[in-house]
Amino acid sequence: MNNPVRLDLENGIAVVTIDNPPVNALSHAVRAGLLRMIDTAEAGGAQAIVLIGAGRDFIAGADISEFGSPPKEPYLPDLCRRIEKSSCPVIAVLHGATLGGGLEVALSAHYRVATQTARIGLPEVLLGIIPGAGGTQRLPRLTGAEAALDLITTGRHVTAKTALELGIVDHLANAPPKEAGLAFAENIKGQGQRPTSDLPQPDAADFDAWYSRMEQVHRGQSAPKTAVRAIEAASSLPFEEGLLRERDLFLTLMDSPQRAGLIHAFFAERAVSKLPELKETNPRDIHTIGILGGGTMGAGIAAACLLKSLPVTLVDRTRAAADAARERIAQSIQGAVKRGKLEDAAPVMDQLVTTAEDLDLADADLIIEAVFEDMETKHEVFARLDAICKPGAILATNTSYLDINVIAARTSRPEDVIGLHFFSPAHIMKLLEIVVADKTAPDVIATGFSFAKRLGKTAVRAGVCDGFIGNRILSRYRMAMDNLVLDGASPYQIDNALTEFGMAMGPFAVADLAGLDIAWAARKRKAASRTPYERIPTFADRLCEMGRFGRKTGQGFYLYSEKAPQGIPDPEVEAIIAEERAKADIIPRDFRDDEIVLRFMLAIVNEAAYILDDGIARRPLDIDVTLVYGYGFPRWRGGPMHWADQAGLGRLLDSLHTLQDEDPHFWAIAPLLSRLAQSDQSFADLNKGMSR
Ligand code: T1G
């Protein structure tokens, strides 16, 4: 774009409009344009300057696609200083996204007016950085240190009304941005400039307490605790020195792998829905949802739909089962009320019909089956749905590993069949795997993605295989960790090493939560097809034989009690493991935490490379988003494929070769990984050109 900033004179007032779609980010051209227009307005003797954004947003912040390239002048902090020192009074009109550098521009203006649409915040910590253009120095001068600490360390957005209460804005307007700015300019005529930097320093807060809280809450992350130090500078240093301190801290974070990981995650989660078939196809209309099966998953999916105002008809086998499902759904909706997500449960519950009559699904536009995970049962269900549902209805299965091609073949309309794999609790977890079978029609895929968006979920396209993307990888890293236990590591050391690495939970704590009986049943089911090389976690079988199924039975790998709801290690489990090792003639050895983490990551990355080669995931970024949103992988590491690129594929390949010597079958190296490493390519190279 030639000139993304323009100036219009309106009765002696310069209206400067930033027009850089989609969100008016502060690209180099915008920064340069703003500087030029401030000069022009002053030279022309404007009485005031009104800053607005074209379209919905004021400014959504720095242009983060420029991060990682060498910065170009004018730099944002200098632009902000220039605005603040302008010889004309400057009024910023905050509307739509007014975030990050966008808010920093507004804080440098002399007056701030907000319209009702404004979403105001400094979300930099979510990108692994802190505000770098005076935000940590100016905001606390307006709001006090406590409120600034809260806003900057959470990165949360506030409404115009809250911003007024906090002292961030001077006035709320009920008019379009330009009119609001011009009217305000009239009102402040003759009042001159009012630089935020002239305001008194904020009082000190208990910065050390904030710092330790950030270390605890955001384990492993640098940005939130660094933000505390920057805000501390606002109360302890003169303004100019505070700016320099902020700059130093900001630049260190800009160079960090956490920043690179979080920016990768930001773009990856937007790229997952950029698929050729979605560009060319319109989704089908979805007004009503049918759900078959009212267990944990079915009820969770129903709650997810209801919370987004989609009417649901839920069918279970008996009236009593349907009533129980209604009760489960009501609890989830009540939970949303308690969490402040919803005001009143009643109108939401009014959109729900629970019944034992599957003919009631006849009019639904999208039917999601969430019955027992068993192929025979699924066959029956799909044959029935095929007979009942109207033409054009989408028949979805929530299976987490069964072959959807086989399920689709049971219907006369395989093109209408798709997998919608939700994660439990379905009304809370953000990930939805959209599993595309061989005959699924493109508009059905498009509908899956638009449905996910409607539910506020992040959808990833997956192909059909045992476990799709996520559970296939999970099963592989679980096996790697089980093998480590057999060889000498304790489940507690493994969980600890991986949570230190940043995983939300360790794999053994997760297994306890999911129920050890589930994996036990899967092991039994797969026993016949097991290869002779597969190692069996007999210690887990032993726990199950003792009725230790995890949290639901109060004991699994951990012991649970009212006093220790998160579980504590159990020496009895370690004794059982030792016995099983002895039976298998294994001489246990010690593993360092970094060896554990490396094996965990290699198991993921190697399996992911197979998944890419098999076409189950189209791009590495789809795998990154799956693991971050569905499996508690630390977002600030960008996802496993991004991690692998950072670690260096050549180095990882070397480590895999060493492991292959130890266990050639488990650690058989994915050809894609060798190809990439040998040609000096990365997973990021595979993402390129595939996300538009
Ligand atoms: N830079 C570049 N592109 C951006 C962008 C940004 N800041 N924000 C959004 N986009 C693109 C996005 O990739 C997508 O592109 C399109 O805009 C629409 O976004 C010095 C260092 C603004 C609330 O962190 O939170 O300022 O995919 O799909 O749901 O201190 O985007 O269509 O090609 O998300 O309506 C701080 C990040 C930067 C804001 C809009 N700012 N953005 O949400 O649409 S750091 C942020 C958002 C900074 C200074 C620092 C959201 C949104 P495409 P979208 P949306």
Question: What does the DSSP assignment read for 571-628?
Answer: HHHHHHHHHHHHHTT-------HHHHHHHHHHHHHHHHHHHHHTTSSSSHHHHHHHHH
pLDDT surpasses 60 at 691: no
Q: What is the pLDDT of residues 186-244, one digit of tens each?
A: 999 889 999 999 999 999 999 999 999 999 999 999 999 999 999 999 999 999 999 99
Residue labelled with tokens 């199924």: 549
pLDDT of residue 690: 57
CB distance 646 to 260 below 8 Å: yes
Using the atom order of ligand 1, give the atom closest to the CA of residue 155.
Answer: 24
Q: Among residues 247, 14, 234, which one has the least CA distance to residue 143?
A: 234
* Segment 318-330, tens digit of pLDDT: 999 999 999 999 9
User: Which pair of structure tokens corresponds to residue 36?
Assistant: 């030029």
Closest residue by Cα to atom 39, ligand 1, is 60
Average pLDDT, integer, range 619-634: 97
Testing ligand 1's pocket by substitution, the residue of 20, 57, 64 carrying the most ligand atoms inside 8 A of its CB is 64
Asked casually if ipTM beats, i.e. exceeds, 0.95, the reply is yes
Looking at every residue in the chain, the average pLDDT score rounds to: 96
* Euclidean distance between CA atoms 233 and 250, whole angstroms: 13
Answer yes or no: is pLDDT of 692 > 50. Answer: no
Measure the CA–CA gap between 371 and 357, rounded to whole angstroms.
Answer: 15
Give the CA distances from residue 117 to residues 26, 47, 100, 174, 175, in Å, rounded to whole numbers and listed in that order: 20, 27, 17, 10, 10
Q: How far is the CA of 360 from the centre of ligand 1 (A)?
A: 43
Percent of the chain with pLDDT over 90: 93
- The reply to whether ligand 1 has any atom less than 6 angstroms from the CB of 100 is yes
pLDDT at 1 over 80: no
Nearest CA, atom 25, ligand 1:
60
Q: Is the CB–ligand 1 distance for residue 573 below 6 Å?
A: no
Cβ of 104 closer than 6 Å to ligand 1, yes or no, is yes
The answer, yes or no, to whether any atom of ligand 1 lies below 6 A from the CB of 265, is no
H-helix or E-strand containing 99?
Answer: strand 97-99
Q: Whose CA is nearest to atom 49 of ligand 1?
A: 101
Q: Whose CA is nearest to atom 27 of ligand 1?
A: 270
pLDDT tens by residue, 79-127: 999 999 999 999 999 999 999 999 999 999 999 999 999 999 999 999 9
* 124 C-beta closer than 6 A to ligand 1: yes
Question: What's the pLDDT score for residue 689?
Answer: 62
Atom of ligand 1 nearest to the CA of 101: 26
Say how many Å lie between the CA of residue 673 and the centre of ligand 1.
32
pLDDT band at 374 (very low <50, low <70, confident <90, very high): confident
Query: CB of 104 within 8 A of CB of 135?
Result: yes
Distance (angstroms) between ligand 1 centre and the Cα of 555 equals 45
Nearest-angstrom CA–CA distance, 178 and 161? 19
Q: How far, in Å, is the centroid of ligand 1 from the Cα of 24? A: 9
132 C-beta closer than 6 A to ligand 1: yes
CA of 36 to the centre of ligand 1 (A): 24
60 lines ligand 1 (CB under 6 A): yes
CA atoms 450, 454, 455, 457: torsion sign: positive
Query: Which residue minimizes the CA distance to atom 1 of ligand 1?
Result: 63
Q: Which residues pair with 432 in a beta bridge?
A: 422, 459
Among protein residues, the one with the nearest Cα to ligand 1's atom 23 is 97
**688: exposed, middle or buried (C-beta count within 10 Å: 0-12, 13-18, 19+)?**
exposed
| pLDDT surpassing 70 at residue 259 | yes
Q: Do the Cβ atoms of 360 and 353 come closer than 8 Å?
A: yes
With H, G, I as helix, E, B as strand and everything else as coil, classify residue 222: coil
Q: How confident is the model at residue 440 (pLDDT cuts 50, 70, 90)?
A: very high
Q: Is the distance from the beta carbon of residue 21 to the nearest atom of ligand 1 less than 6 Å?
A: no
Condensed to tens digits (0 to 9), the pLDDT of residues 451-487 reads 999 999 999 999 999 999 999 999 999 999 999 999 9
Question: The whole model's pTM is what?
Answer: 0.94
**Percent residues over pLDDT 70 in the chain:** 99
Catalytic residues: 104, 124
Region 171-197: mean pLDDT is 96
Of 623 and 341, more confident: 623
Cβ of residue 269 lying under 6 Å from some atom of ligand 1: no
pLDDT at 537 over 50: yes
Q: Is the CB of 63 under 6 A from ligand 1?
A: yes
